[in-house]
Every structure is written in structure tokens, then in C-alpha cells.
């Protein structure tokens, strides 16, 4: 019964998405042709069809979750990815721990974006406030068409509700790596929300090309969508790095893995898109349209890499029949985008010519920011796809490692930090060189002091010292700007400038995170040793002592644990446990590291081997300087993004206010007592107008 309900939900979702697409196309044509009263009927129907699509996806997800929670092993997916011993939380998260279930979550989030966009556009139309006009309707049609294509791929190429007969009594449980940390409950949904949030800018970009609506500055309508997607991607990538660091036991958080790169690519282009949107009317041009379209196409590319099984990664799924269908979908949407750019690109509003060629202006900093981010995205994309293409064409098996990426990523990171400073203190129209020098004095002085202090303390390596110096300059200018906003506004009045505060916090968070990455990558030290209880291992400034070894079995797994005392660099001694956990259902052993940290860094301990009698333990101890700054920086970035995203009080998705304007028209009422009408000023009336504040 559950299998029937789930499959029925997918069919409802596909039919709803197809209907929504068609209804939006009809509504857009009637709206553009004339004030056709039947367009309103089509808009209402399109909104209802959008909710129907979401209902179908929700029904399929609910059916699968009921099967997982209820241990319905008659479904193949449940029999392969759950067990009776699996805790409830990880039964729920098993939905996205394997290929077919993750596609259901993908469809749910995609349908949610489509339904919310349809509701928003229909609501604006009903209130006769349509800043998007036909562009918004065409965008909704594109988003619905994307949803329909993913529903079709899921129904044709996968069988999420396939049954197994006879049903087994139990299953092996989810992949241990995906069921041993609470981050797995949040990391994939956040990434999916970020990925699929970019479908709305993609829809508007194609709609701008189709209708020539770029002249209406369509970025105003989608900036919050881009910001929401960027927020989810930032949080999702940070949580993924934390999960890799805390669960995989290798002591790192980023390995330029193809699937890691797949999440980084749309983050880079969406960051560039957010900055491009600040270039005034130029945000409506072909460059911004290309960034919006490329961001979602990179999402589809990452989906293909992750779910086709053509790359080997701990993050990717096994090889499946879904790969060819996803490749066709990717090539189809990419072909449509390229064709529209070629045929309709000349209809986009041309960016105004710059008034100045000042290399130290904010406009120049924003332009160079885009160049660096897109250049890094191209570099990462090439390094990710070259091994895949070589394998697909029968060539030699290639491997692109960290040196290739670091050769470009490190200078780009330094360039971005410099541009953040220049973009903040850069010249305004009325500012002269003297004002620029005054604004640059403090950050330059702080950077010089930090760099000199690190050099005198014996810090090795140019890259980490330079990263910390530039990071200090960025934090200084960001802090000064935030302090200026808070000081220059009345109590609680800073909320009206929360977007500026959020942007400066995000820049400060980026600087802190990059400083942590540079320090932990360059100054880390590690050592391995086989010791007996009572023995010691040191690495850098961290010291680890082994006390005893214990073994116990519970919840379908056997854990052999080493009880330790860890003294991280500059910190106090604390107890900890590192273990090797064996999962018999999967015949897999997973190391569970012990981590003890301070603001100066972490002591990271991994058990490599334990003697059968527990007499000796082989430990790897790593000293990771400033690695916690990465998580702190990511938290500051997310906080800044949330501030910029937060709506003003009392307003909805389109922030509007009524403005009272006097016009010489009819009289507005009776004369006050004691005055004759002839004694009054020219009669006026109050006209209510809506002012868009998006």
C-alpha cells in the first residue's frame, strides 16, 4: 500500500508540474498580448497546480518516511538502507542516505520553490502590483518545467518504491559514515535547499532572455532568492566540512573531492551574482543573466556527478541507470540557455558606460571580484571534469590533486581579501585621494602590525602570514563600518541598515575562515606511534596519553575504544575517547576521532589499530592550529547573511509602503469652522501610491 501511495504521489507531482508550466505560459501570453481578463483565471489555476505539484512530492516523501520509521522491509530501499537497530533520527535521515530516497527529498524542495514562486507571482497579480510582469510568469513556467523534468527522470530511471519478495526480517542499516554524526540530519537538506534555491534566478534569467525583460532590472525580484540560496549553501558546505573533519578520521575538512567541488562551484557563481547585483542598472545585463543561468546549470552538473556514479567519492552514490537521464537533462537545459543567449542576448539592456576608470573605486572592486570568483569556478570545473571526460572517452585514468587547485585558489583568496578592503574604503564620487588615504591608514596599519608580529614570532610560510595580515585588515574595515552604522543610528534604528551590517559581517567571516584554512593547512603537525597504556604521543604543541582500552557491543555495532587524556596547544588536559567501530551489517570499520580544541587550535587523535588483547594501540596525533577559526568564520558569514536576508517588520515578500501625495483635484472635505471655502488653499486630494522597496 505504501509503495502504491508513493508512486501515485510522484505521478501527481509530474502532472501538476506539467500543468503548472502550461498554465503559466498561457497566462504570460495573455498578459503580454492585452489586458485579457481570462489571464487572471489562468494565474489562479497555475498557483493551484503549483500546490498540487508540492502535494505530490510531499506524499511520496511521507510514504517513504513511514516505511523507514515503521521498518517496512518489503520496500527495497528500506531493506537496503535501514535496520531495526538504527536510531530513530537516522531512520529519518536514511531518506537522503542513498540515491532513490535523496531524489525524493530533491523533488520535495524543488516543488516547494516552484509552489512558493507561483504563489508570490499570483498574489502580486491579484493586488495589481506586478514589478515582474510577464517576466515573472515566464520565470515560473521555467521553474515548473525544471520540476517536471526531474519528476520525469525520477519516474523513468529510478524505482524508489520497488518491492522485494520475500521481505527480509532486517536490513544492514544506513552507511555508517552517514549515520554517525548529527550533521547528517542537516547537511544534505541545507545543500539541497541551496542548490534548488538557484532554480528561481535561473528561471528569471531565461525569462529575461525570452521576453527582453532585463530592462526591468529583474535582479530586484530575485536578489532575496539568491541570498537565501547562498545562505543555505554556505551553511551546508561548512557543516559538510565539519562532518568530514569530525567523522572521517583523516584530520582534514576539504580534499578537493569532485563532489565537494560540485558544491563549491554554484557557491562561487552565486557569490559573484550577489556582488554583480550591486552594480546598479548594470545588473540587468547579459553578464548577470549568464551568472544566474550558470549557477543552476552547475547545480545540475553536480547532480550528474554525484548520482551517476562516474566519480569515486565517499560523498557520491553508487553507479546507477540515472546517469544517462541526468546527462540528457543537463545537456537539454544547457542547450536551451545557450540558444537563448545567442538568439536573444542582444535584447538585454546594455550596461551603462562607466563614468570613471578609477582603479580604486568600489565599482572596479566589484568587477574584479566577479573576475576572480568566475576564474576560480572555471579552474575548479576544469579540474573536476577532465578526469571524468578522460575516463568516459576511454583515455588514461587521470587524477587532479590539491596542488592544481591550490595554485589558483591561494592567489584568488588573497585577491578577494584585498578587494574586500578596497571595495569598503574605495573612492566615492566626491572623495579625493586624501580621504582614501585616511580610510586606508587603520587597516593598513593593523595588517602591518599583525604581519610583523607573526614574522618576529617565527611563524613560517608566506601564505599563512599574509592571510592573517590581510584577514586582520578585512576585520578592521568591517568592524569600523559596523560600528559606524550602530553609532550613527538611533536605538534599534540600525535595523533599517541591516543589509549593510550583514554584508560587512559576511566579509569579516570570510576573512576569519580563510585565516583558519591557511594556518591549519600550513602549520599542522602530526605523528604516529604504537604505545601501551600509560604511554605518550606528542605532535606540535599537543600531548596525548593513553590510559586503557575497552570494548563493548550495542545497537548492532562493536566499538573498541581507547581512553585518553589530551592536552591541546595552550589548553588544559581533558579526558577523551577515540575508537574503532565495526558495523557487521555493512562489514565496515569506521574510526571515531577524539578532538580537543582551544582558540589556538585542535589536538586531533585517530586510532589506526588496536591489538586483539588491547595491549597496544597505534595512534595518529595531529596538531591543527587555528582550525576552529574556519567554523567561527562560517558562523559569522551565516549570521551576516541572515541579517541581510531578514525582512523589515510588517512587510511581506515585496516590501511596500503607502505614500500620501497631494494632487490638485477634488476638495477633501468641509471647511474648518470659521472659514469659508474661498479662504482655503487650493483644493487637493490624497492619492495613495505604492512604492516598491524590494
Q: Is pLDDT at 60 greater than 50 in this prediction?
A: yes
* 151 within a domain of the structure (yes/no): yes
Bridge partners, 598 (sequence order): 601
Q: Which domain, by its residues, includes 284? A: 182-349
Q: Is residue 354 pLDDT above 70, yes or no?
A: no
DSSP 646: P
Cα–Cα distance measured from residue 15 to residue 323, given in angstroms and rounded to the nearest whole number: 23
Q: What angle do CA 111, 301, 174 make, to 5 degrees?
A: 70
Last residue of a domain, one of 140, 157, 180: 180
C-alpha cell at 444: 593598513
Q: Tell me if 369 is assigned to some domain.
A: no
* Average pLDDT, integer, range 669-681: 38
Q: Is the peptide bond before 166 cis (omega within 30 degrees of 0)?
A: yes
Gap between the Cα atoms of 328 and 508, Å rounded: 41
The pLDDT assigned to 677 comes to: 38
Average pLDDT of the residues in 179-194: 88
Mean pLDDT for all residues in the chain: 85
* Mean pLDDT, rounded, for 161-176: 90
332 shares a domain with 452: no
Containing 366, the helix (H) or strand (E) segment is helix 362-392
Give the per-residue pLDDT at 353. Answer: 47
CB atoms within 10 A of CB 212: 15
Q: What whole-number percentage of the chain has pLDDT above 90?
A: 57
The DSSP call for residue 319 is P
Q: Is residue 486 part of a domain?
A: yes
Look at 125 and 621; give whichever has higher pLDDT: 621
- The pLDDT score that the predictor gives to residue 112 is 97
Three cell numbers at 269? 557563481
Does 8 have pLDDT greater than 60? Answer: yes
Burial of 318 by CB count in 10 Å (0-12 exposed, 13-18 middle, 19+ buried)?
exposed
**Mean pLDDT (whole number) for 525-551:** 94
pLDDT: which is higher, 316 or 589: 589
Arithmetic mean of pLDDT, 46-72 = 96
Residue 408 covered by a domain: no
Give dist(CA 339, CA 206) in Å, integer.
Answer: 10
- The answer to whether 440 touches 480, Cβ cutoff 8 Å, is no
DSSP 222-243: HHHHHHHHHHHHHHHHHHHHHH
**Which pLDDT score is estimated for 393?**
77
Residue 172 and residue 194 share a domain: no
pLDDT attached to residue 493: 67
Residue predicted with more confidence, 194 or 651: 194
Residue 388: inside a domain, yes or no?
no
Do 687 and 640 lie in one domain? The reply is no
230, 295: one domain: yes
Confidence bin at 180 (pLDDT 50/70/90)? confident
Number of alpha carbons in the 13 Å side-chain half-sphere of residue 672:
3
Same domain assignment for residues 663 and 566: no
Q: Is the pLDDT of residue 463 over 70?
A: yes
Mean pLDDT of 214-239: 85
Answer yes or no: is pLDDT of 667 > 60: no
Distance from C-alpha of 320 to C-alpha of 458, rounded to nearest angstrom: 53
For position 349, what pLDDT does the model report?
Answer: 54
Q: What is the DSSP letter of 668?
A: -
- With contact defined as beta carbons under 8 Å apart, do 80 and 44 qualify? no
Considering its fold, how many domains does the chain have in total?
Answer: 5
Q: Are residues 294 and 231 both part of a single domain?
A: yes
393 in a structural domain: no
Q: Inform me whether the pLDDT recorded for 673 exceeds 50.
A: no
pLDDT of residue 110: 97
Q: What is the DSSP letter of 361?
A: B
| Ramachandran class of 284: left when φ > 0, alpha when ψ lies in -120 to 50, beta otherwise | alpha
Of the CA atoms within 13 Å of residue 331, those in its CB half-sphere come to 6
Q: Does residue 565 lie in a domain region? A: yes
From 35-44, 337-346, 486-495, 512-521, the region with the lowest mean pLDDT: 486-495
* Pair (515, 530) in one structural domain: no
The mean per-residue pLDDT over the stretch 192-211 comes to 94
Tell me: the pLDDT tens digits for 407-446? 999 999 999 999 999 988 875 655 567 777 888 899 999 9
Domain end: 180, 206, 241, which one? 180
Same domain flag for 506 and 547? no
CB 619 within 8 A of CB 606: yes
Q: Do 120 and 229 belong together in one domain?
A: no
Residues 450 and 549 in one domain: no
Q: How far apart are the C-alpha atoms of 121 and 132, rounded to whole Å? A: 8
Q: What is the pLDDT of residue 383?
A: 92
Statement: the pTM of the whole predicted model exceeds 0.85: yes
Q: What is the pLDDT of residues 480-523, one digit of tens each?
A: 999 888 886 666 667 778 888 999 999 999 999 999 999 999 99
Asked if 257 contacts 312 with a C-beta cutoff of 8 angstroms, the reply is no
Instruction: Say what the pLDDT of residue 305 is.
Output: 86
Shared domain for 64 and 204, answered yes or no, is no
Q: Which is nearest to 22 in space by CA: 55, 52, 46?
A: 46
Q: Which residues contact 470 (CB under 8 A, 6 or more apart)?
A: 414, 417, 418, 421, 447, 511
Report how far residue 604's alpha carbon sits from residue 591's, in angstroms, rounded to the nearest whole number: 12
Residue 556 — left, alpha, or beta (φ > 0 → left; ψ -120 to 50 → alpha)?
Answer: left
Report the alpha-carbon distance of residue 293 to residue 286 in Å, rounded: 10
**32, exposed or middle or buried, with CB in 10 Å at 0-12, 13-18, 19+?**
middle
Q: Is residue 364 part of a domain?
A: no
Domain CATH number, residue 584? 2.60.98
**Percentage of the chain surpassing pLDDT 70?**
85
The answer on pLDDT for 234 being more than 90 is yes
Which of 49-53, 270-274, 555-559, 673-677 is least confident?
Answer: 673-677
Q: How confident is the model at residue 9 (pLDDT cuts 50, 70, 90)?
A: very high
Average pLDDT over residues 134-140: 90
- Of residues 592 and 389, more confidently modeled: 592
**Confidence check: pLDDT of 356 > 70:** no
- Of residues 332, 346, 375, 278, the one with CA closest to residue 644: 278
Give the residue ranges of DSSP H helices in 127-180. Answer: 134-157
CB atoms within 10 A of CB 456: 8
- Residue 34 is predicted with a pLDDT of 57
Non-local CB neighbours of 673 within 8 Å, separated by 6+ positions: none
Name the pLDDT band for 253 (thresholds 50, 70, 90): very high
Residue after which a domain boundary falls, among 180, 208, 238? 180
Across 272-280, average pLDDT: 81
- Are 636 and 567 part of one and the same domain? no
Which phi and psi (to 5°) does residue 251 adopt? 85, 0
End-to-end CA distance of the chain: 47
Amino acid at each position: 500500500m505504501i509503495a502504491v501511495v508513493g508512486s501515485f504521489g510522484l505521478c501527481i507531482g509530474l502532472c501538476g508540474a506539467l500543468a503548472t508550466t502550461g498554465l503559466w505560459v498561457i497566462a504570460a501570453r495573455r498578459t503580454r498580448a492585452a489586458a485579457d481578463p481570462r489571464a487572471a483565471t489562468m494565474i489562479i489555476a497555475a498557483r493551484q497546480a503549483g500546490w498540487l505539484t508540492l502535494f505530490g512530492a510531499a506524499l511520496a516523501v511521507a510514504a517513504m518516511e513511514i516505511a523507514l520509521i515503521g521498518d517496512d522491509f518489503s520496500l527495497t530501499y528500506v531493506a537496503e538502507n535501514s535496520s531495526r537497530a538504527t536510531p530513530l533520527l537516522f531512520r529519518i535521515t536514511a531518506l537522503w542516505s542513498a540515491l532513490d530516497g535523496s531524489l525524493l527529498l530533491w523533488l520535495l524542495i524543488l516543488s516547494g520553490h516552484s509552489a512558493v514562486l507561483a504563489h508570490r507571482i499570483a498574489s502580486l497579480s491579484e493586488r495589481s502590483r506586478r514589478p515582474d510582469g510577464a517576466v515573472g510568469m515566464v520565470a515560473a513556467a521555467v521553474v515548473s518545467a525544471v520540476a517536471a523534468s526531474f519528476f520525469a527522470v525520477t519516474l523513468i530511471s529510478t524505482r524508489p518504491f520497488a518491492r522485494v519478495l520475500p521481505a527480509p526480517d532486517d536490513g544492514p542499516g544506513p552507511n555508517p559514515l552517514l549515520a554517525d554524526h548529527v550533521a547528517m540530519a542537516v547537511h544534505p537538506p541545507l545543500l539541497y535547499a541551496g542548490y534548488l534555491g538557484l532554480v528561481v534566478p535561473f528561471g528569471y534569467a531565461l525569462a529575461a532572455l525570452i521576453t527582453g525583460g532585463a530592462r526591468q532590472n529583474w535582479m530586484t525580484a530575485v536578489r532575496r532568492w539568491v541570498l537565501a540560496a547562498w545562505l543555505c549553501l554556505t551553511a551546508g558546505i561548512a557543516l559538510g566540512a565539519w562532518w568530514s573533519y569530525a567523522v572521517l578520521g583523516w584530520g582534514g575538512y576539504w580534499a578537493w573531492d569532485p563532489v565537494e567541488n560540485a558544491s563549491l562551484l554554484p557557491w562561487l557563481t552565486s557569490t559573484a551574482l550577489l556582488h554583480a547585483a550591486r552594480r546598479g542598472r548594470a545588473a540587468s545585463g547579459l553578464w548577470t543573466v549568464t551568472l544566474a543561468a550558470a549557477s543552476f546549470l552547475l547545480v545540475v552538473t553536480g547532480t550528474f556527478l554525484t548520482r551517476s556514479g562516474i566519480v569515486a567519492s565517499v560523498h557520491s552514490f553508487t553507479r546507477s541507470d540515472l546517469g544517462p537521464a541526468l546527462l540528457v537533462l543537463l545537456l537539454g537545459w544547457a542547450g536551451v540557455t545557450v540558444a537563448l543567449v545567442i538568439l536573444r542576448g542582444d535584447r538585454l539592456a546594455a550596461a551603462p558606460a562607466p563614468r570613471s576608470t578609477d582603479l580604486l573605486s568600489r565599482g572596479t572592486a566589484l568587477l574584479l571580484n566577479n573576475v576572480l570568483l568566475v576564474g576560480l569556478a572555471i579552474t575548479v570545473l576544469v579540474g573536476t571534469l577532465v578526469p571524468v571526460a578522460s575516463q568516459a572517452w576511454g583515455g588514461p585514468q587521470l587524477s587532479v590533486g590539491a596542488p592544481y587547485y591550490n595554485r589558483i585558489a591561494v592567489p584568488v583568496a588573497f585577491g578577494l581579501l584585498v578587494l574586500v578592503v578596497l571595495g569598503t574604503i574605495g573612492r566615492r564620487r566626491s572623495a579625493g585621494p586624501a580621504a582614501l588615504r585616511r580610510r586606508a591608514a587603520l587597516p593598513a596599519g593593523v595588517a602591518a602590525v599583525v604581519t610583523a608580529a607573526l614574522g618576529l614570532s617565527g611563524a613560517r610560510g608566506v601564505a599563512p602570514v599574509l592571510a592573517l595580515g590581510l584577514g586582520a585588515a578585512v576585520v578592521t574595515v568591517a568592524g569600523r563600518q559596523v560600528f559606524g552604522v550602530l553609532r550613527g543610528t538611533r536605538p534599534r534604528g540600525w535595523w533599517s541598515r541591516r543589509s549593510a551590517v550583514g554584508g560587512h559581517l559576511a566579509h569579516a567571516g570570510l576573512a576569519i575562515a580563510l585565516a583558519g584554512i591557511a594556518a591549519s593547512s600550513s602549520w599542522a603537525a602530526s605523528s604516529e606511534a604504537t604505545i601501551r597504556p600509560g604511554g605518550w604521543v606528542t605532535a606540535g604543541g599537543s600531548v596525548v596519553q593513553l590510559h586503557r582500552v575497552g570494548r563493548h557491543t550495542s545497537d548492532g555495532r562493536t566499538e573498541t575504544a581507547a581512553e585518553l587524556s589530551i592536552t591541546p596547544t595552550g589548553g588544559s588536559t581533558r579526558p577523551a575517547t577515540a575508537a574503532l567501530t565495526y558495523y557487521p551489517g555493512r562489514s565496515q570499520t569506521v574510526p571515531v576521532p577524539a578532538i580537543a580544541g582551544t582558540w589556538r587550535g585542535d589536538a586531533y587523535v585517530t586510532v589506526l589499530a588496536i591489538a586483539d588483547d588491547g595491549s597496544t594501540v597505534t595512534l595518529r596525533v595531529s596538531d591543527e592550529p587555528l582550525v576552529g577559526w574556519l567554523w567561527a568564520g562560517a558562523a559569522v558569514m551565516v549570521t551576516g547573511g541572515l541579517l541581510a536576508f531578514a525582512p523589515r517588520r510588517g512587510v511581506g515578500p515585496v516590501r511596500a509602503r503607502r505614500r500620501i501625495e497631494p494632487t490638485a483635484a477634488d476638495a477633501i472635505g468641509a471647511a474648518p469652522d470659521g472659514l469659508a471655502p474661498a479662504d482655503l488653499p487650493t483644493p487637493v486630494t490624497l492619492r495613495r501610491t505604492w512604492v516598491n522597496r524590494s
